[in-house]
Amino acid sequence: MDHEKEDVIGGAWLAHHYAIALAAQLPVVSSIGKRRTTREINGRRFETFAEASCPADSLRGHVTFHLKHEVAHVELLARVFERIDPQELVGWVESEPTGQYARRAGFLYEWLTGRELPISVEPVGPLVDALDPDKLVTASPGMAGSNHRWHVRDNMPGNRHFCPMVRKTSELQQAMALDIPALLHQLEEEFDAELLMRPAVWLMLRDSRSSFKTEGKADKADRNQLFANLTGRRTGVGPLALDHETLALLQSQILGRRTMLQALGIRQSPAFVGEAMRFEEVVSYVAPPV
């Protein structure tokens, strides 16, 4: 769709007005038309609003519309904030210190740019989410912090250097609603847990044998068994986040006492994938340093 020929609003207006060629396309494109319509094409939503819904032709108007009616696009906002005069945002915040969209915009500006806005009025109001958790996957409630300067709940799923945005589409919502523990419980009731364990162990042993064969350690049958036993005992047990100490402990339990490794844990030396072809080492991939 050619945005220059459309009476676009919200995110599409911001991208066009500030001449931004986005790396990640807008999931929602809004425009003004004769009547309210919604179309979905290849996973993107095209919304048409009546003239009465047209925002003011300004940064304030279209950022507000974008945060209120569309799926917040962090790349777009970050690049818009790099091109605007910060005083324009300061004027918005100082004229609406209690407005949730002014406060969210101010928070996002500072969060994305790392620069502080020179506001002279203290923002106030009830705590609001930086991102709409109904539209995007956000930080879990236990991980979200409160930004007291803006009265905004920092539920960003990352930091300003890496913040992946995952839309909560109907397909994703359906997948997230799947009760996997309940399905596993049904399988256990139908087939018995011990019977289900047998093919799982067989697959685990077969996979580990293949891995050790690739590494030239196919004769280490005891290591295969250690790996399978450890997987059976530790899967689903303990904290989800594995720190260096936990990983080193698991590694030592798999390798056993006869390992030649001097230091356990995450490999510090460069890792690579390759093979020997006609007595020549061919490297296909070199992993980035840890």
Q: Which residues contact 30 (CB under 8 A, 6 or more apart)?
A: 8, 9, 10, 11, 12, 46, 47, 48, 49, 65, 69, 70
Q: Which residue has the tokens 């979200």?
A: 144
Q: Which residues contact 239 (CB under 8 A, 6 or more apart)?
A: 246
Read off the pLDDT of each residue in 239-245 and give the average, rounded to a whole number: 70
Of residues 226 and 47, more confidently modeled: 47
Nearest one of 47, 76, 45, 43 to 59, comparing CA atoms: 76
How, if at all, do strands 152-154 and 280-286 pair?
unpaired
How far is Cα 108 from Cα 115, in angstroms, rounded to an integer? 10
Residue 136's φ and ψ, nearest 5 degrees, are: -135, 155
Q: Which of 35-44, 59-68, 136-145, 239-248 has the lowest mean pLDDT?
A: 239-248
How far is Cα 199 from Cα 184, in angstroms, rounded to an integer? 15
Q: Which of 99-103, 180-184, 251-255 has the lowest mean pLDDT?
A: 251-255
Q: Which residues contact 157 (CB under 8 A, 6 or more apart)?
A: 131, 136, 137, 138, 139, 163, 164, 165, 166
Q: Quickly list H helices, 135-242.
A: 170-176, 180-191, 193-214, 221-234
Q: Which of 2-16, 43-57, 58-72, 137-151 has the lowest mean pLDDT?
A: 2-16
How, if at all, do strands 272-277 and 37-41 pair?
unpaired
- Helix axis angle, 100-113 to 74-83, nearest 10°: 80
Residue 132's φ and ψ, nearest 5 degrees, are: -75, 110
Residues 92-151 pLDDT 10s: 999 999 999 999 999 999 999 999 999 999 999 999 999 999 999 999 888 899 999 999
Q: Which residue has the tokens 């950022």?
A: 63
Give the DSSP letter of residue 40.
Answer: E
Q: Tokens standing for 38?
A: 């919604």
* H or E segment and range at residue 37: strand 37-41
Sign of CA dihedral 200, 205, 206, 210: positive
Per-range mean pLDDT, top range of 5-9, 140-144, 224-228, 232-236: 140-144
Q: Tokens standing for 290?
A: 């840890």
Q: Tokens standing for 202?
A: 């067989």
Q: What is the pTM of this model?
A: 0.69
- Look at residue 62 and give its three-state secondary structure: helix
Contact predicate 70/38, CB 8 Å: no
Contact predicate 76/15, CB 8 Å: yes
Read off the pLDDT of each residue in 168-177 and give the average, rounded to a whole number: 89
Give the DSSP letter of residue 258.
Answer: T
Give the DSSP letter of residue 77.
Answer: H
Nearest one of 256, 190, 194 to 227, comparing CA atoms: 256
